[in-house]
Amino acid sequence: MRKLFWLVPAVLAVCVGAFGLSSGAVSADDELRVKILLTGPRIGGIKPQGNSVYRDRADGSRRFKVEASRVNLANGTVLTAYVNGVSVGSFSLAAGIGKVELNTNDDDVVPVIVAGDAVTVLGPGDVLVLKGSF
């Protein structure tokens, strides 16, 4: 039991050193994956939430996804996702949830994301619903 007590902190220290505590990025030999959280102002008393995921593979393929949930707007409301002010896609809400997914393997135009790029999701009338930065 005494050996196990000292082994757990040692393993934890190695894991923290190898992977870091605050990184949202996962890197493998063939893929870079970064996920950010998106937040926005309350709509009708409910705070929307979401995330955006970017994947860049060594083979040149890329994926980009924006998901929204807890959006207190009517079913069928169209939201538009932007990267640095450039529209990357739109989606309709169903029960406060929606997403847009882009994949170069599906012949979609997927933006190349770099640190500091801003993701915004706007509703009708260009009202801010969600935002975040890579």
State pLDDT tens for residues 86-101: 999 999 999 999 999 9
Q: How far apart are CA 87 and CA 120, in angstroms?
A: 9
pLDDT tens, position by position, 105-125 = 999 999 999 999 999 999 999
Residue 90 within any structural domain of the chain: yes
> What is the total count of domains within the chain?
1
The DSSP line for 47-58 is --EEEEEEEEET
What residues contact 128, with CB distance under 8 A and at least 6 apart? Answer: 40, 41, 120, 121, 122
Report if residue 1 sits inside a domain: no
Q: Is the pTM of this model over 0.85?
A: no
Smallest Cα–Cα separation from 54: which of 88, 15, 11, 97? 88
Residue 15 is assigned to a structural domain of this protein: no
Say if 71 falls within a structural domain.
yes
Higher pLDDT, residue 26 or 128 = 128
18-32, 49-63, 115-129, range with the lowest pLDDT: 18-32
Rounded CA separation 41/109 (Å): 29
User: Residue 16 above 60 pLDDT?
Assistant: no
Which pLDDT tens digit goes with each residue over 22-46? Answer: 345 555 568 899 999 999 999 999 9
Structural contact between residues 50 and 69, judged by C-beta atoms closer than 8 angstroms = yes
| Structural domain includes residue 10 | no
Residue 53 burial class via C-beta count within 10 angstroms: exposed 0-12, middle 13-18, buried 19 and up = middle
Mean of the per-residue pLDDT values of the chain: 86
Q: For residue 63, give the nearest of 29, 88, 91 by alpha carbon.
A: 88
Residue 31 lies in a domain: yes
